[in-house]
């Protein structure tokens, strides 16, 4: 592995800031242990979080390593097109979760997404989804860990093994102690740290570049003939933008499938919302999260664009790295080193560490819940005491972390592991969205239809992925253009997988016997009485704020068209 010289040096005040952070998260974990005694407390934080706490935690669990460094690097590579993963690739799905899907999750009182599938389709679909989710979660957690350790090595010169073990043991201790209480508390702290640690980069960067107009002029000067600052106008043809993407891939693959799948069925994020104290808070939480999600490009995408404008060197892909050069993924640390002196540097590094740990904590707490409630309880030990399951959850957190550490070391062996992670994500999340959505909205969907649809969708995604790797000519068939880069391929792969899932679910369901109506109460649209919203003023209604979020989303698209 090629390791360039370290990018920054830390002063004593920086080290103090990092040490205080580790101390704070551990103290919070120990403090909260006394409150996480029952299953509902440990796995769902007692279902008593306010909309704001659940909403910020919902967002923070997603701000992992791929988000902070990966997308900053992607914005250097692809320009503002990367912002689509924060806008159309998040906002409609988050609002859909809050307004349409959350009532079903919340009313069914499920502990997890596979738990919902068990109620709706039975053990087969639930078991398949739980196993694939567990597999994906552990792999993601390991890759997050490896990515963090690698960044700490490149940025600070820290030993890679030291970073992996210290950060993962810290996460393990605080999550195993306080369960979801602890994960959520720390995620809220991490949310503030990430913003305060990273927001100064775009502020100072814009001052240096001469505002937005100065930034655009400098990018055009540095990269003549390339368009990095328009989000939609270059998507008419694959060859007009640096991503090799067409608008259909963004709208249907990313907006309609990948993002809907992730934000509405990935239990890592949905678990945070299920911890809300009542249905109105559960509906409001993702809506609150959507406002901040729209703003995340400020601290992730904008630094990449500023890098294009002000950095004297040209960054290169990881695979083409030569001694003395830096890769796309180094853009955020490079900007940090450019603007932040002692103190602010410590805060920025703490923000990065906090982001990694939030992602890792999200993965292990979701894994512990799905293992305990959706694999261990239905398939291994059915009727144990609540305390037994809490104890299993604590052990599972630790064991999950050790397996993650193993996958982190495994990830070191693969140069392009991050590409595969994105693909892996589309294998399991895209078909799951089809299955959950059909289950919630179509009363005729049957248990066999749900199971076979999920299985067929997953196999389709894996099949397309493998066939495109074996024969590159098939990229033109599945991704509609030979120019489609890997991210674009993932979008179409997800789209096909979801379509196959829905098609198989419909065909098999029509050929099999549906569940009786009495068993669908609280699970399916038309058989579920959604509680009437309490008589609250307009400003406290979820639907009002969802409307405001839609308006802001549209305005952003027009501004950066």
Residue ranges that bind another protein, judged by CB under 8 A: 11, 13, 16-17, 20-21, 24, 28, 31-32, 35, 41, 46, 48-50, 53, 181, 184-185, 188-189, 192-193, 196, 200, 204, 207-208, 277, 310, 337-344, 346-347
DSSP symbol at 523: T
Q: CB burial class (10 A; 0-12, 13-18, 19+) of residue 254?
A: buried
Q: Indicate the residue among 299 and 501 with the shorter CB distance to another protein.
A: 299
**Choice between 200 and 461, CB closer to another protein:** 200
As measured in angstroms, the least distance from the Cβ of 497 to another protein is 38
Give the HSE-up count for residue 231: Cα atoms under 13 Å, Cβ half-sphere. Answer: 22
Min dist CB 413 to another protein, Å, is 37
Whole-number minimum distance, CB 311 to another protein, in Å?
11
Inter-residue contact 351 to 198 (CB < 8 Å): yes
Shortest approach of another protein to residue 183 CB, angstroms? 12
Residue whose C-alpha is closest to residue 91's, from 522, 556, 553: 553
How far apart CA 401 and CA 388 sit, in angstroms, is 20
Nearer to another protein, 193 or 455 (CB): 193
- Residue 534, Cβ neighbours under 10 Å: how many? 10
Classify residue 382 by burial, with Cβ atoms within 10 Å: 0-12, 13-18, 19+.
Answer: exposed
User: Which residues face 276 on adjacent strands?
Assistant: 49
User: Buried (b) or exposed (e) across 433-472, using 16+ Cβ within 10 A?
Assistant: bbbbbbbbebbebbbbbbbbbbbbbbebbbbbbeebeeee
CA torsion sign for 291, 85, 269, 104 is positive
State the nearest-atom distance from the C-beta of 284 to another protein, in Å: 14
CA separation for the pair 428, 442 (Å, rounded): 21
Q: Which is nearer to another protein, 87 or 339 (CB)?
A: 339
Output 208 or 240, the one with its CB closest to another protein: 208
- Nearer to another protein by C-beta: 208 or 318? 208
Residue nearer to another protein on the CB measure, 13 or 295: 13
Closer Cβ to another protein, 170 or 422, answer by number: 170
Cα 561 → chain centroid: 25
With contact defined as beta carbons under 8 Å apart, do 79 and 215 qualify? no
Q: Kindly state the smallest distance separating residue 365's Cβ from another protein, in Å.
A: 16
| 3-state SS, residue 388 | helix
Please state the closest distance from residue 512 (CB atom) to another protein, in A.
44
Quote the least distance from Cβ 21 to another protein, whole Å.
8
Nearer to another protein, 195 or 291 (CB): 195
Q: What is the DSSP letter of 45?
A: G
Least distance from C-beta 189 to another protein, angstroms? 6
């Amino acid at each position: 592995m090629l390791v360039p010289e370290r990018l920054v040096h830390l002063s004593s005040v920086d080290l103090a800031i990092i040490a205080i952070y580790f101390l704070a998260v551990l103290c919070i974990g120990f403090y909260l242990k006394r409150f996480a005694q029952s299953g509902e407390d440990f796995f769902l934080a007692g279902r008593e979080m306010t909309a704001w706490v659940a909403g910020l935690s919902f967002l923070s669990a997603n701000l992992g390593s791929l988000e902070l460094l990966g997308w900053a690097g992607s914005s250097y590579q692809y320009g503002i097109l990367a912002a689509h993963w924060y806008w159309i690739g998040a906002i409609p799905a988050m609002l859909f979760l809050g307004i349409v899907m959350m009532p079903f999750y919340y009313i069914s009182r499920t502990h997890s997404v596979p738990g919902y599938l068990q109620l709706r389709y039975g053990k087969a679909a639930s078991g398949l989804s739980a196993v694939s989710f567990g597999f994906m979660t552990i792999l993601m957690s390991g890759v997050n860990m490896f990515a963090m350790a690698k960044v700490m090595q490149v940025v600070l010169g820290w030993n890679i093994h030291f970073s992996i073990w210290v950060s993962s043991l810290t996460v393990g201790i605080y999550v195993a102690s306080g369960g979801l209480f602890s994960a959520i508390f720390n995620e809220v702290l991490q949310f503030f740290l990430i913003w305060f640690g990273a927001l100064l980069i775009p502020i100072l960067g814009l001052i240096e570049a001469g505002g937005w107009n100065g930034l655009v002029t400098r990018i055009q000067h540095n990269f003549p003939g390339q368009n990095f600052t328009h989000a939609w106008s270059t998507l008419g043809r694959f060859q007009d933008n640096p991503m090799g993407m067409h608008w259909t891939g963004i709208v249907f693959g990313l907006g309609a499938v990948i993002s809907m799948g992730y934000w509405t069925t990935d239990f890592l994020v949905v678990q945070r919302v299920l911890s809300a104290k009542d249905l109105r808070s559960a509906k409001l939480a993702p809506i609150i999260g959507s406002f901040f999600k729209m703003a995340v490009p400020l601290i992730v995408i904008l630094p990449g664009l500023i890098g294009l404008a002000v950095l004297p060197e040209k960054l290169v892909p990881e695979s083409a790295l030569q001694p003395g050069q830096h890769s796309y993924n180094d853009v955020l640390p490079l900007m940090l080193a450019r603007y932040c002196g002692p103190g602010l540097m410590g805060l920025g590094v703490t923000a990065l560490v906090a982001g990694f740990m939030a992602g890792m904590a999200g993965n292990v707490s979701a894994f512990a819940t799905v293992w305990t409630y959706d694999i261990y309880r239905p398939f291994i030990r059915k009727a144990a005491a609540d305390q037994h399951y809490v104890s299993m959850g604590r052990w599972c957190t630790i064991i999950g972390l050790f397996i993650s550490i193993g996958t982190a070391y495994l990830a070191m062996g693969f140069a392009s592991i991050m590409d595969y992670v994105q693909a892996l994500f589309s294998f399991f999340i895209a078909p799951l969205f089809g299955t959950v959505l059909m289950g919630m909205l179509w009363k005729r969907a049957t248990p066999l239809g749900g199971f076979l649809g999920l299985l067929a969708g997953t196999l389709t995604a894996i099949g397309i992925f493998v066939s495109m790797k074996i024969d590159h000519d098939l990229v033109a068939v599945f991704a509609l253009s030979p120019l489609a880069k890997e991210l674009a391929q993932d979008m179409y792969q997800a789209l096909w997988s979801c379509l196959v899932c829905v098609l198989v679910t419909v065909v098999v369901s029509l050929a099999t016997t549906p569940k009786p109506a009495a068993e669908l109460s609280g699970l399916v649209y038309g058989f579920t009485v959604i509680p009437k919203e309490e008589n609250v003023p307009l400003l406290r209604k979820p639907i009002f704020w969802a409307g405001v979020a839609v308006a802001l989303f549209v305005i952003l698209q027009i501004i950066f068209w």
